Structure 1
Amino acid sequence: MPNNNYTLITGASSGLGKEFAIQCARMGRNIILVALPGSHLQSVADNLMLEYRVQVKVFEFDLSNSQLLKEALQRMTELYDIDFLINNAGVGGTSPITHTSRERIDDIIMLNVRSTVLLTHQLLPHLLRHPQSYIMNIASMAAFTPIAYKTVYPASKAFISSFSLGLKEEMTNTGLSVSVVYPGPIMTNSHTSRRIISQGIKGKMGLLSTPAIARIALKKTLAGKPVIIPGMMNKINHALMQLLPLSLKMRIVSREVKKEIPYTLSV
């Protein structure tokens, strides 16, 4: 019997989002891909449909535009049965706060925080109509510690963590399962790879391939796990860091992150 349900994935044109799309298609799941205009998303969709024989729909728009988000979601829910939402889209960066543009700060807050909440809020009634449905929100290991030279980014991911866990509790007696994923470093492109390499061996601790992160996150989300930290080293690192005083923890992490600044694009 064919599966007529869809998985909605944001930030799906590259990196972790694209890998989620590949693995969901491999599982036989129909997909709705969302990314910015000009992301060449249709070519990704065409390849997935050809290789895995699933239905793949494409929506290209700016998630931080609340009106466009509302209109796009209305079209999606009228046309497709969505039973799995993967809130993957996000943006970050490394720079002293005094050298970070107001536009960049606004981008992080609008995309990482506001669009995630609005998308989830608007899709909730649709998800709850299914006997079993799922939300996966992508946070970061950065959510566990305030970090200098990133400041706004870890704060946005801490928000996603709190939002997800609160929502999970609220949905306890429904068929909707909510999970939050805390990936460590990901070499999604040459730019982020240079930043990670700049930190030496400490920057590579917990480093997993993008396919491995996606595989772990999908498996545990579909198993109903609320908190997902991919990789044993990241789990150990998180447990050890919890033992340190906050001031020391922030100093250690921020010192390593500062090494990324020369490799960061202008923000």
Structure 2
Amino acid sequence: MNFAVISGAAAGLGKSFSYELAKIGYSTILIDLPNTGLKNICLEIENKFDSKSLYYETDLTKIENIVEITNDINKRYNVSILINNAGIGGTKRFNDADITYLNTIIQLNVMATTIMTKQLFRNLKKQENSYVLNVSSMAAFSPVAFKTVYPASKVFVNYFSLGLYEECKNSNIFISVLNPGPMKTNPEVTERINKQGFLGKVGLLSPDKVAKISIRQLFKRNTFIMLNGNKFGWLMLKAVPIWLRLSLFSKAVRRELKHKQ
């Protein structure tokens, strides 16, 4: 029995990935923080799709936790899909952000994506065909004031994924990276999107829609997944000078920040 491992699986896009993979016949291993309802999600998946579903509760910003759970997974299960979906952002003036806030973004978006992949890599190598899907963001294509670290962390996810794709293109492991636009994944994110005005809503899709399209594109071996609603935005971003992108997106985020004050 081969499993799909999904991080950040308790809500939003991660939960949608879990349901989508179970729907098409994959057994799943869900990872998220303690007390986020993973047990109930696994039970619902098993009852609804007659598909095995397991879970690990841990904080992925701690490297020792990643090592512990991946060692256990490697001992007990065959993994043919890894989805590095766990990530975090936010909106704060850099001067007002404490180091714990900044470090959490870096550890979850950068370190956890890298170390989860490294730890499960030998497991993925053992299977006939394996897939890694790393979740980046449209935010990776422009710097933004008041979100300084988040877009930078997503640039890392893109470059890490594409470099690893090149390393693995003649192997049994296919590497892909997804760049979704805004999604109303939880009440806090929904509030932020609503406050950003028109620019915050460009390419807005539901997590279920994003998951369905992304899994389909992953199996088509699309290494750089851009959703239909975001392709035009991506092309426009490439055509707009960086100073203008920076100004426009920062203005939208500044509007969100003013609403919070």
Q: TM bucket by the smaller chain?
A: over 0.9
**1:64 aligns to 2:61 (yes or no):** yes
Structure 1 residue 262: deviation in Å?
4.1
Count of paired positions: 261
Cα distance, 1:262–1:189 mapped onto 2, change above 3 Å: farther
Q: Any unmatched runs of 5+ in structure 1?
A: none
What's the counterpart of residue 103 of structure 2? 106
In 1, the alpha carbon distance for the partners of 2:259 and 2:55 equals: 33
**1:260 aligns to 2:256 (yes or no):** yes
In 1, the alpha carbon distance for the partners of 2:245 and 2:198 equals: 18
What's the counterpart of residue 139 of structure 1? 136
**1:208·1:231 contact (CA, 8 Å) conserved in 2?**
no
TM-score computed with the length of structure 2 as normaliser: 0.97
What's the counterpart of residue 29 of structure 2? 32
Task: Choose which of 192, 203, 207 in structure 2 pairs with 1:206.
Answer: 203
Structure 1 residue 67: deviation in Å?
1.4
Q: Which moved more, 1:236-245 or 1:136-145?
A: 236-245
**1:160 aligns to 2:151 (yes or no):** no
Percentage of identical aligned residues: 36
Q: Any unmatched runs of 5+ in structure 2?
A: none
Structure 1 residue 92: deviation in Å?
0.5
Cα distance, 1:231–1:78 mapped onto 2, change above 3 Å: same
In 1, the alpha carbon distance for the partners of 2:62 and 2:218 equals: 28
Task: Choose which of 231, 234, 239 in structure 2 pairs with 1:238.
Answer: 234
In 2, the alpha carbon distance for the partners of 1:14 and 1:112 equals: 17
The one-character-per-residue Cα deviations of 1:8-47 (angstroms, maximum 9, x if unpaired) are: 0000000100010111111111000000111111000001
Structure 1 residue 201: deviation in Å?
2.4
Any residues of structure 2 matched to 1:78-157 within 5 Å, and which?
78-157=75-154
**1:138·1:160 contact (CA, 8 Å) conserved in 2?**
yes
Structure 1 residue 194: deviation in Å?
1.4
Aligned to 2:240, the other structure's residue is in SS state coil
What's the counterpart of residue 47 of structure 1? 44
Code of the aligned partner of 1:68: N
Code of the aligned partner of 1:71: E
**1:8·1:86 contact (CA, 8 Å) conserved in 2?**
yes
**Stretches (4+) displaced over 6 A:** none
TM-score computed with the length of structure 1 as normaliser: 0.95
Task: Choose which of 167, 170, 195 in structure 2 pairs with 1:173.
Answer: 170
**2:197·2:252 contact (CA, 8 Å) conserved in 1?**
no
The one-character-per-residue Cα deviations of 1:107-166 (angstroms, maximum 9, x if unpaired) are: 000111011101101111111111210000000000011111100000000000000000
Aligned to 2:117, the other structure's residue is in SS state helix
Aligned to 1:25, the other structure's residue is in SS state helix
Code of the aligned partner of 1:27: I
Task: Choose which of 153, 170, 179 in structure 2 pairs with 1:182.
Answer: 179
**1:14 aligns to 2:48 (yes or no):** no
Q: Which moved more, 1:159-168 or 1:182-191?
A: 182-191
In 1, the alpha carbon distance for the partners of 2:114 and 2:155 equals: 13
Q: Which moved more, 1:200-209 or 1:45-54?
A: 200-209
Aligned to 1:128, the other structure's residue is in SS state helix
Code of the aligned partner of 2:106: I
**2:199·2:249 contact (CA, 8 Å) conserved in 1?**
no
Structure 1 residue 245: deviation in Å?
1.3
